[in-house]
Structure 1
Amino acid sequence: MKNLLLICVMLLCVTTQAQEIKWMSFNEALEAQKKEPRKIFMDVYTDWCGPCKLLDKKTFHNKDVVSYVNENFYAVKFNAEGTEKIEYNNFTYTNPNYKHGRKGRNSQHFFANALKISGYPSIVFFDENGGLIAPVVGYKTPQQLELYLKMIHSDDYKQLTSADAWKKYEKAFVGTFTN
């Protein structure tokens, strides 16, 4: 009986782990790109942001999102008001105005500022060489996020050079992600 219980617990752990996005830092993702080029999917959040927490709980734990992101992207979690040191394009980004111990809002990290992040949450995509593709601002359901994930991964975004092209693409898109 103990062995059966142990096996069940182990299977539960493996199943739970399989439902997690494999997050890394931006610096780690840039290093990983040198060995195996992949696009980067970055979740830009803040600790006080309600929609950020909802995105994490609902969307980033959806099995289809988890599977697609893990298979096709390097996934990065970036606190836009944190203290992480980012090395990007021969520049070091920090948050020198960060106030330790402050509850709620804090100063914006210089990297978030450089990315022109205007709201939270934001999902930012980078190409296989670390070049900025685009930010997507706001909470997205798994089904809404699927469009962006697949469009970026397939490079379809390169052909969407007008608002009309985007509307046609969006209207024609048939998703497969479930709730």
Structure 2
Amino acid sequence: WIDRNQASFRAFPLVKGGVGIAGLVVAAFLLASMALRGPGVAWKPYTETTIKEALALNRPVIIDFYATWCTPCRELEDITFHQADVVRLAGQHFTMVKVDVTRGGNPYHEELLKKYRVKGVPTIVFLDAGGKEREDLRLVDYLPAETFLIRMRELASPKQ
């Protein structure tokens, strides 16, 4: 399709081949980077039952309010929530919950936004094992994995 007009210069077949090879290299790189990033955090959708079950097990809860159009939300998902230590700690000590607020107007989500006083995304709410929010840990922007781990460890260890 690219040379229907029979390009008149001799190097065109080389350019066409080079563009094709470059496209294949980019595609291979993207596929490899997705495969190498490893598993991510195992999220559950928000339900009152999920929260009650976590509290019955004495597990702290981390709630991620996000939207698909939100760049910092995607960075959290693609980088922070795929970092091996974050994934391991999340699986061992926490119940990880997501609330997708991409499309407004969902009455249940609107109720959750009010309940947790969410003004924008991303907002990450940290609930201790008793169900009380640790407001000092609340996150309202992208945070690298190393800093997020500090908050997770703070939530996992009982406050003195």
Unpaired segments ≥5 residues, structure 2:
1-34
Structure 1 or 2: larger strand share?
Answer: 1
CA distance in 2, matches of 1:81, 1:112: 12
Query: Could you list the runs of 5+ residues in structure 1 that have no partner in the other structure?
Result: 1-14, 84-93, 99-107, 160-179
Taking only the aligned residue pairs, the percentage that are identical comes to 26
How far is the alpha carbon of 1:56 from its aligned partner? 0.2
- Measured after TM superposition, the shift of residue 80 of structure 1 is 3.1
- SS for the counterpart of 2:82 is coil
Cα displacement (A) at 1:22: 1.6
TM-score (norm 2): 0.65
CA distance 1:67–1:79, shift in 2 (3 Å) = same
> Is the CA contact 1:21–1:70 (under 8 Å) kept in the aligned structure 2?
yes
State the Cα distance separating 1:33 from its structure 2 match: 2.3
Map 1:65-144 → 2, pairs under 5 A: 65-81=86-102, 95-96=106-107, 109-134=110-135, 135-144=138-147
**SS, match of residue 148 in structure 2:** helix
Cα shift readout 1:52-94 (whole Å, capped 9, x = no counterpart): 01110011001111001111100001113558xxxxxxxxxx8
* 1:19 and 2:39 aligned: yes
Greater fraction helix: 2
Contact 1:29 1:40 in 2 (8 A): no
> Partners in 2 of 1:151 and 1:117 — Cα distance?
22
Shift in CA distance, 129/21, structure 1 to aligned 2, threshold 3 Å: same
RMSD: 2.7
Deviation readout 1:19-38 (Å, 9 max, x if unpaired): 23121123242242254220
